[in-house]
C-alpha cells in the first residue's frame, strides 16, 4: 500500500510538470489523464486497505535515527477522504476541459497549461496531506496547497482575483504558524514528528500542540475570525471554487484537526470547549452573512463556512468523553459530513458554473423556470438545495443526524452543550427554509429571459453533474459502510 499511496501523490505532480512543457491544447487531455490515474491510485489504496483486513497501518518513509520525518497512515478515514479529494479533482478537471473555452458566455477563455498544472499539483498535495502520518508532512503539503490556491484564485489575473488570492495566501500562511508551533513542541517533548506521538504528551503540552493545530485548521477552513479570505476567493474560475472551497482546500483544516483528535489518546477538555464555542460562533456568523447574498457563488461561499462549522462542532464533540458512544457517533458523523459535503457542495458550485457558461449569469434573481427549459439543471438545483439543507434521503441529512445524536448523548453529562445544540438545530432549519425559498424561485415557473436563452451544456458538464447528483444521495451510505 505504501507504493500505491506514493504513486497517488506523485503521479498528478508528475503530470503537472509534463503539462507545463506541452502545447496549450494538450493541457486539458494531460490533466484528465493524470487526474484519472490519481483517482485509480486512491481507489486502489482503499481497495488494498479493505481486502487487507481494514487494519490501520503506518508506513515510515523518511526517518533520521529515531525521528520520523515523513510517512503514511492508511486507515478508514484517510482512505475515505483521500478518495474523495482525488476523485473530485478528476471530475473538476473533466468539467474544466469544456468550461474554460471561448464558448463561455460570461468568461470566454481557453485554459492555459498552468491552470491544469496548478490543479494537478493541488490534487497530489491534497492526497499527500490526507495520507501523511507526521506533522511535518502535513505542514509541507499544507503550504503547497496554499501556493496552488494562490495561483488558481488569481488565474484570470484581474485585480479582484489577484487581491483575493493574496489575501487567501497571507491568512492561511499566518494560520500555518500554529502548525509550526505544534510541530516544534511535539518534537521537543517526544523526539519525533509522528502525529501518534501526541498521545505521549502530558496534558499541558498536549493542550499547546492541539491548540496550534486548531489555529492552523481555523485558518485553512475559513472559520471565524479567519474566514475573510473565502468570499474574496470566489473570483477564481468556478471549477476552482468547487474544488478548493467545497471539496479540498477548506477540508484541510478539518482533516488535520480530525487526525490530531484521533491520535491524541484523549483531548484536553479545554480544547473541546474552545472548538465547540468557535464552531457555534462561526455557524451563526455564516448564517447571517449568506442570507442576503444574491450571487450564487458568494451565497455558497458563506454556506460553506457554516457547513465547515458543523464539522468542527462534530470533531470537538468527539473530543468530549473521548471513546464514549456519544463522542464516537459525533466524530464519525463529522467525518461523514466532510465526505458528503464535498460532493453535494461541488454539485452546487459546478451548477453555478453551468449557469455562468450557458446563461451568462449566476445571479439567482435572474434565474427562473429551470425545470421547463433545462431539466437537468433544475434537478441539479433541487438535489443540491435539498442535500445542503439536510433533507432525507440526501446525504447531509444522515451525517447531521449522527452529529446531533452524538451531541445530545453527550449533553446528558455536559448540560451546557444542550443550548448550543439547539441553536445549531435552529440554524439547520433556517438554512433548509432559505434554500427551499430559492428552489421555489428558480426551478418552477416560466423561464426568465436568461434561462430562455440558455445555450447547450456540453456533455462533459452534464456527465459530471449526473455523477454528483448520484453521490449526493449515495455518499452517506458509502461513508457509513466504510466507517462502520
Tell me the pLDDT band of 163, cut-offs 50, 70 and 90. Answer: confident
* Tens digits of residue pLDDT in 39-87: 999 999 999 999 988 998 989 988 888 888 899 999 999 999 999 999 9
Backbone angles phi, psi at 67, to 5 degrees: -90, 115
Map out the domains of the chain as residue ranges.
Answer: 268-484
pLDDT of residue 321: 76
Q: State the DSSP code for 185.
A: H
Q: How far apart (Å, rounded) are the C-alpha atoms in residues 42 and 121?
A: 15
Instruction: Say how far residue 34 (Cα) sits from the centre of its chain.
Output: 21
Smallest CA-to-CA distance from 327 within 409, 211, 213, 270 is with: 409
pLDDT of residue 204: 92
pLDDT of residue 88: 94
Smallest CA-to-CA distance from 153 within 230, 96, 250, 226 is with: 230
Note the pTM of the prediction, 2 decimals.
0.93
* Tens digits of residue pLDDT in 216-262: 999 888 788 888 788 777 778 888 888 887 767 788 889 999 999 99
* Tens digits of residue pLDDT in 461-470: 999 999 999 9
Cis, peptide link before residue 88, omega less than 30° from 0: no
Q: How far apart (Å, rounded) are the C-alpha atoms in residues 250 and 403?
A: 20
Amino acid at each position: 500500500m505504501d507504493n500505491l499511496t506514493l504513486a497517488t501523490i506523485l503521479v498528478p505532480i508528475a503530470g503537472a510538470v509534463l503539462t507545463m512543457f506541452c502545447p496549450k491544447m494538450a493541457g486539458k487531455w494531460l490533466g484528465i489523464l493524470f487526474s484519472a490515474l490519481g483517482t485509480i491510485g486512491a481507489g486502489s489504496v482503499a481497495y488494498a486497505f479493505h481486502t487487507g483486513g481494514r487494519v490501520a497501518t503506518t508506513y515510515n518513509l523518511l526517518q533520521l535515527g529515531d525521528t520520523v520525518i515523513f510517512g503514511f497512515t492508511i486507515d478508514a478515514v484517510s482512505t475515505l477522504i483521500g478518495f474523495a479529494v482525488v476523485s473530485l479533482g478528476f471530475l473538476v478537471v473533466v468539467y474544466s476541459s469544456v468550461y474554460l473555452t471561448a464558448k463561455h458566455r460570461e468568461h470566454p477563455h481557453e485554459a492555459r497549461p498552468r491552470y491544469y498544472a496548478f490543479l494537478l499539483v493541488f490534487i497530489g498535495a491534497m492526497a499527500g496531506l490526507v495520507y501523511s502520518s507526521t506533522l511535518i508532512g502535513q505542514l509541507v503539503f499544507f503550504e503547497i496547497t496554499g501556493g496552488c490556491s494562490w495561483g488558481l484564485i488569481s488565474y484570470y489575473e484581474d485585480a479582484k482575483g489577484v487581491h483575493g488570492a493574496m489575501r487567501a495566501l497571507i491568512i492561511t500562511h499566518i494560520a500555518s504558524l500554529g502548525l509550526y508551533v505544534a510541530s516544534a513542541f511535539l518534537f521537543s517533548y517526544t523526539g519525533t514528528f509522528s502525529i501518534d506521538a501526541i498521545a505521549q504528551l502530558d496534558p499541558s503540552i498536549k493542550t499547546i500542540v492541539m491548540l496550534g493545530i486548531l489555529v492552523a485548521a481555523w485558518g485553512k477552513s475559513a472559520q471565524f475570525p479567519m474566514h475573510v479570505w473565502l468570499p474574496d476567493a470566489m473570483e477564481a474560475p468556478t471549477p476552482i471554487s468547487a474544488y478548493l472551497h467545497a471539496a479540498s482546500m477548506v477540508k484541510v483544516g478539518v482533516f488535520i484537526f480530525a487526525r490530531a483528535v484521533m491520535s491524541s489518546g484523549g483531548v484536553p477538555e479545554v480544547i473541546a470547549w474552545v472548538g465547540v464555542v468557535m464552531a457555534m460562533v462561526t455557524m451563526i456568523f455564516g448564517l447571517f452573512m449568506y442570507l442576503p447574498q444574491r450571487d450564487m457563488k458568494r451565497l455558497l461561499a458563506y454556506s460553506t463556512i457554516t457547513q465547515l462549522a458543523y464539522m468542527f462542532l462534530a470533531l470537538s464533540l468527539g473530543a468530549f468523553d473521548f471513546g464514549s458512544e456519544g463522542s464516537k457517533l459525533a466524530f464519525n458523523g463529522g467525518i461523514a459530513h466532510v465526505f458528503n459535503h464535498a460532493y453535494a457542495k461541488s454539485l452546487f458550485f459546478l451548477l453555478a458554473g453551468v449557469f455562468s457558461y450557458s446563461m451568462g449569469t449566476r445571479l439567482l434573481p435572474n434565474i427562473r423556470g429551470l425545470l421547463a427549459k433545462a431539466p437537468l439543471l433544475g434537478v441539479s438545483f433541487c438535489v443540491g438545495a435539498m442535500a445542503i439543507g439536510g433533507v432525507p434521503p440526501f446525504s447531509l441529512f444522515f451525517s447531521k443526524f449522527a452529529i446531533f445524536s452524538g451531541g445530545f448523548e453527550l449533553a446528558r453529562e455536559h448540560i451546557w452543550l444542550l443550548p448550543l445544540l439547539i441553536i445549531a438545530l435552529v440554524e439547520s432549519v433556517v438554512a433548509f427554509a432559505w434554500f427551499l425559498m430559492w428552489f421555489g424561485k428558480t426551478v418552477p415557473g416560466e423561464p426568465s429571459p436568461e434561462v430562455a436563452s440558455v445555450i447547450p451544456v456540453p456533455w462533459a458538464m452534464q456527465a459530471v453533474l449526473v455523477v454528483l447528483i448520484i453521490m449526493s444521495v449515495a455518499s452517506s451510505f458509502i461513508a457509513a459502510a466504510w466507517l462502520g
